[in-house]
A = this chain, B = another copy of it.
Amino acid sequence: MPLIAHSQSMPFEAPLPLQSGTAIRDYALSYETYGTLNDDRSNAVLICHALNASHHVAGVYEGQPRSEGWWDNMIGPGKPVDTDRFFVIGVNNLGSCFGSTGPMHVNPDTGRVYGADFPVVTVEDWVDAQARLLDALGIRQLAAVMGGSLGGMQALCWSLRYPERVRHAVVVASAPNLNAENIAFNEVARRAIVTDPDFHGGHFYAQGVVPKRGLRIARMIGHITYLSDDVMNEKFGRQLREGIALKGAPGGSEHTPAPSVGAYRYSTQDIEFQIESYLRYQGDKFSEYFDANTYLLITRALDYFDPARAHGGSLQKALAQTQARFLLVSFTTDWRFAPARSREIVQALLDNKRAVSYAEIDAPHGHDAFLLDDARYLNVVRAYFERIAAEGAAA
């Protein structure tokens, strides 16, 4: 019997002050909860999402057996983050296109759709909005806040912004800030979207068009950076598109490409290699559902996150505010958020004599690994949450 998820929405009238100096009012946050909040309200775990995800973290919707949440392998009954023990909250961030108030919604100040006028939001703003949601749910302190990638930045930010409300922070495949190369990839993706003639300065909804060309390019770039060189070579290598037809055919295999067969077509625009087919497919799919303004907002929030900035560039000084205990996890082939970036956080925490567990998982899958089934990774998280549960029971 699978976990059944129910999407909910919490409205907020009072203005939320934003890092940019403006504020947003009359907004709503979409969220889901799994498991049961215990009597002393001490078993809540908040899950923060990354670029292309939402509050639908675990389980499936009634009657939709293929609607698994994006971290369903991690969270659920008997899973590493066990919803039989923890009350898990998934929340969709402001500016998203998956339920919470975002660019496609109406700006109460103008009566028109926000579009490009949606305020620029930061990781700090998201965490503040999440804190108000917890207030509304009557949760004073989290057993843990957890996220991967951009979600890991939110978990780290929670430990800085609301130190007394976080007992544990679980920061997976993340970084204390983006480096120049990360920002560069974000910028190219944004330029592809913004310079698409169908973007119309971010007010494309009124034109009845979508800047799909730009979204496709953005997603293709993203996919290249999510995968490791190794896994790309293993999955696609230099296989020609004929290899695709072999899938499922006798002698073909889903995972082991057949040796390169067939002749080159000698075309600059047709698909020649399987990797091209894969990227075009991913780009097309993404452009069908993701909002262009949301893409700009979320990548900018990534760019801006930099807790050391207010402390003269010292991460150690920034993390002196934390009170939580930490689990950090990184993956050896992740070149988007390399293990070295996680180690910077670990070192800065150790310099502050904080309790830190750190696992560097030797996985081939690159940044994507944080969403995949790797037994060592899942076991590290499971063991950590078992310890949290034991603490709760002992307290």
Contact = CB atoms under 8 A, between A and B. Distances in A.
Interface string A180-199: 11011101101110111100
Contact of A181 (B194, B217, B229): B229
B221 A180 contact: no
Contact of A183 (B19, B194, B221, B275): B275
A12 interface: no
Nearest to A274: B180
A194 to B, nearest CB: 6
Nearest to A198: B197
Contact of A279 (B21, B188, B224, B267): B188
Interface string A213-235: 10011001101100101001101
A131 interface: no
Q: Count identical subunits in the complex.
A: 2
Contact of A224 (B184, B196, B264, B275): B184
Contacts of A183: 238, 273, 275-276
A260 B179 contact: no
Nearest to A197: B197
Interface string A270-285: 0011011001100100
Given A180-B237, A238-B178, A260-B309, A269 B187 contact: no
Contact of A272 (B264, B279, B303): B303
Main secondary structure of the interface of A (DSSP, over half): helix
Interface string A287-306: 00000010011011001101
Contacts of A293: 268
Interface string A232-250: 1101111000000000000
Contacts of A195: 213, 216-217
B224 A181 contact: yes
A180 B233 contact: yes
Q: How large is the interface on A (under 10, 10 to 19, 20 to 34, 35 or more residues)?
A: 35 or more
A184 B260 contact: no
A256 interface: no
Interface string A112-137: 00001001101000000000000000
A179 to B, nearest CB: 5
Contacts of A33: none
A233 B179 contact: yes
Interface in A298-351: 299-300, 303-304, 306, 309, 312-313
Interface of A: 19-21, 116, 119-120, 122, 177-181, 183-185, 187-188, 190-192, 194-197, 202, 213, 216-217, 220-221, 223-224, 227, 229, 232-233, 235-238, 259-260, 264, 266-269, 272-273, 275-276, 279-280, 283, 293, 296-297, 299-300, 303-304, 306, 309, 312-313
22 contacts: A19-B266, A21-B266, A116-B269, A178-B238, A180-B237, A180-B238, A184-B275, A187-B220, A187-B273, A187-B275, A188-B220, A188-B224, A188-B279, A191-B216, A192-B217, A195-B213, A195-B216, A197-B197, A217-B217, A238-B306, A260-B313, A268-B300
- The 3 residue pairs across chains A and B that have the minimum distance between CB atoms: A20-B266, A268-B296, A180-B232
Given A179-B232, A190-B268, 9 more contacts: A120-B268, A179-B233, A180-B237, A188-B224, A196-B213, A197-B197, A221-B221, A260-B313, A268-B299
